[in-house]
Amino acid sequence: MTGDELLEHLRARGALLSGHFLLSSGLHSDRFIQKFRIFEDPPTAEAVGAALAERLRPFKPDVVVAAAIGGIIPGYIVARNLGVRDIFVEKEAGAPALRRGFRLARGERVAVVEDVMTTGKSTAEVIGVVEAAGAQIVAIGCIIKRGNPTFLYPLVTLLDLPLADYTAAACPQCADGAPLQDPGSRRA
Ligand SMILES: [Zn+2]
């Protein structure tokens, strides 16, 4: 699946919403990507995950590490396509951690899988957990990149979709008094 094909799927499945949204990064935007319109349809989710897996394959990861909740489904599909293990990072007492008996070995080659990347905060949290475990990040795979975060590791992306995001203070819709919607993605 190419980026253009993914964009077509997002449009066709009503995943691109317009309004006044509070993003999980804390920024405001007039656009929201409801990625679960993609993940709820297994054939589409499979095709997206397979495409990301092919972009990550040259980095020869031993394990996929995703961020809960949005990364769990694509992380699993990527790992299945690569024939590697699949684990995820989630919050424990407010801090990102590996739970459920998930472990990383020192030097293990890790592909970090992210669904939608805006500021990269969620990805940075996963990176912190992987680095603390002594594993080696070989690449970051992102399905949709709407912001422009930078990392010290190679980043591969299926779809670059730059959208206008604002701090609350600079948000034109806040200035107009438009009610803010919280579609909820990472906060839990
Ligand atoms: Zn706003």
Q: Are strands 165-166 and 28-33 parallel, antiparallel or unpaired?
A: antiparallel
pLDDT of 188 above 50: no
pLDDT confidence tier of residue 185, bands split at 50, 70 and 90:
low
CA of 173 to the centre of ligand 1 (A): 5
User: Could you report the per-residue pLDDT of 2-51, keeping only the tens digit for each?
Assistant: 999 999 999 999 999 999 999 988 899 999 999 999 999 999 999 999 99
Neighbours of 81 (CB within 10 A): 18
pTM of the entire predicted model = 0.90
User: Could you report the per-residue pLDDT of 96-110, keeping only the tens digit for each?
Assistant: 999 999 999 999 999
CA of 183 to the centre of ligand 1 (A): 13
CA of 148 to the centre of ligand 1 (A): 20
CA distances from 23 to 18, 44, 118, 162 (A): 13, 24, 9, 14
Q: What is the mean pLDDT of residues 123-139?
A: 97
Residues flanking ion ligand 1, Cβ below 5 Å: 28, 171, 173-174
CA of 58 to the centre of ligand 1 (A): 41
Smallest CA-to-CA distance from 89 within 35, 132, 36 is with: 132
Enclosing H/E stretch for 67: strand 63-67
CA of 165 to the centre of ligand 1 (A): 9
Angle made by CA atoms 165, 162, 2, in degrees to the nearest 5: 145
Q: Does domain 3-164 have CATH number 3.40.140.10?
A: no
Quote the percentage of the chain above a pLDDT of 90. Answer: 89
User: Could you report the per-residue pLDDT of 52-84, keeping only the tens digit for each?
Assistant: 999 999 999 999 999 999 999 999 999 999 999
Listed by start position, the domains of the chain span 3-164
